[in-house]
Structure 1
Amino acid sequence: MTHQIDKKTFAAWLADGRELAVLDIRPADEVGYASPLFATNLPADRLFAEIDRFIPRRSIRTVLVDDGKGAAVAAAEALSKNGWGDLHALKGGIPAWTEKGTDNLPTFDVPGLPFVKKIRDEKQTPVVFAAELQAWRDAGEDVIVIDTRTLPEFEKGHVPGAVAIPGAELLLRFRDSVPNPQTKVVVSCAGLPRAILGAQTLIDAGVDNFVAYLDEGTRGWTEAGFGLEQGLTATFGKASDQAVRFAEDHLATLSKDDQLTFIDLETAKAWTSDPERTTYLLDVRTPEEFAADHLPHSISSEGGQLLGVAYRTLSVRGARVILVDDPLGARARIVAHWLARRGFEIALLLHDFNAEKRAAA
């Protein structure tokens, strides 16, 4: 049955600690960077085709949020007829939610910017400004810029000469891109979150290089009067044996204080079939690796994106999250390193995707 809930009830649900799914069904260009809720944006025209990907159990308490014009009520009623149970629409939608301003409003997920700023301030992550980076280049300094965004984002525009290495790939691809421990490393994204987390990942992993983040990323670069470069001008390739050994050595340092939980495939199957608890099975390898081979019922969720915008994938607060990776686990360990600090319950499933191929050879 579909119910409308008021602002007070919704605020209480956001704070009660129980499993809760929230979908903002407004158009993507209207939602922007997910504010003010920081909930998953699944526009109404994609809702029915994709909702099962975002909400694995149909009995989960779910709130649909719209622009206040009735789309959420209509969608909830239609979904109810197709097996969805505990569905609710926020009365008045976002206009009602924000009518008295957004200060002190609860959010579904922890916004990425406050989280990374807290990390930066706590760890004193070094920063480099655009003019300083350009001065280093002009002086012939040995410096490399690593862009931690997705490849499509990198392709649209990046600091000239930068190398694309999405955030979760940093340790696995680092030695091949930065063979000299004396090279200065500047980590960039479009603004701050993924640059700060990328830089601090390398620092926490104990790489020998000087590492800093580029203040405000590509935005800071253009605001300083410099132009961007387009295209997939420099990206990572297959990791060499040396790069894998480097990653393996430094993952131990990265994870030394992390309380990691490792599970096997049978445990993962039991968790994902549990009717009382929601579990996500997220493959954090590259989309290309996922397309080549993946576990049944797993979802391709590139690790670097999970670091900064987890709410785009994890629509159920309080769910367990299984991170699927290869036996090295370089991507999964980086994602777990940061998501655990945001309160997510994380487990790692390291699977040998090449075992069957070797057995058949």
Structure 2
Amino acid sequence: MSTLPIRSSLLAGVVSAVALMAIPAVGLMGSIAASHAENATLPIIVSELQAKELIGKGAKIVDVRSAEAYAKGHVPGAVNLPWQTLNVSEEDGIRNEFASDATFEKQFAAAGLSYGDTILIYDTTALPGRAYVAFEYAGFGDKTHVLDGGVTAWKDALTKEPVVAQASAFKFDRKNDIRVDKSYVASKVGVEGAIIIDGRNEEAYADGHIPGAQALPAASLLTKQSTLQSEPVLTGLLNSKGVTPDREVVSYCGSGVAAANNYLALKNLGYKNVVLYDASWDEWSRDPRAGQQVSLANYTFGGTAIEGEADGTPNFLDETQVKELAKDPKVVIVDVRSPSDYAAGHIPGSVNVFWDKTFDTDRVLLTPDKLKTLYAEAGVTPDKRVILFTRGGLQLSHTFTVLNLLGYRNVDFFTGKFEGWENGAFKRT
């Protein structure tokens, strides 16, 4: 992954934040909204009526859904540029990173786009964050707009007639990298002038998060109709989390998707000093030196097999060994991450037993009978060889201890990268 530890424009953002601090708190949101209105005729996220106004003025429409979804029906005149084409689904164990600059240049040129264009993008919700940050990264800046509510908000008839764009001579020479790296994020932990927000759901957040991070599930910013919540609702939610325009906001999630959605929502509200930790929890949780807000700092193991074949002695397995063992019906791979992380992608054939489900509501370990039932329902029984897959030493140690208490004696570990299960071979449910 290639990211900048600090953006070249970050100093300007800090200066803007300092200037904002001089505004009385009660008038802060109003001042930002007024400034935003003065600097742009329309907001980033626009209604159908506003979208038609943009189209009438020559804006190019970009459908960022999959080619299959586009073929079933799209807004007339829209060119198809799936956001996944600007994305690498997994690389070195980190999901959803930007594709190469050469790929960006090729895809934007093929879509017939130029820097002088005003862009209207749409997906299935008001927050196609990955597409939006890709356009911002490519240098389109405030010329990119998003249809609130996505394709379902378009009330006129859709068409199945594909648009074949005339290729442009697009050259990727206005890059604006809004991403920051792990060391930059670490420097913001506990800093008064900064706030870190976690865009995952509450369950994943509880599983482990960056110290001091506030849970701000990206889904909570949307209505049931997939449109953006009203500004008063959003402002109230943000204020309750300490997310105010006078603080730098660092947005992260599990792999960068929800983080990009939060980034887009904040930019639409007029927040200026927002950065994206794109590698997110996929990277942070893998670093034994990075703390996580579970009772202990995260830790891991050396990854070397433990000598000896004594009963109950675990071994650390590599990808090749796990793939081979997975063919044996007497072997079960147990993924102990949160159900949402498991649903987003897991080792083919693995089962999910979230380590946190072994506690009751008072954080007391369940009774042996309930624990046995929990594992048995997932097909994890003492007669099988169990391979645990985790993202941190705390979760691994806890699960191994619980299984040992239940009499499981043939338990091994896999704590490596997703490497080898990339893209289509990496199971998504």
**What is the TM-score of this pair, normalised by structure 2?**
0.30
Higher Rg of the two aligned structures: 2
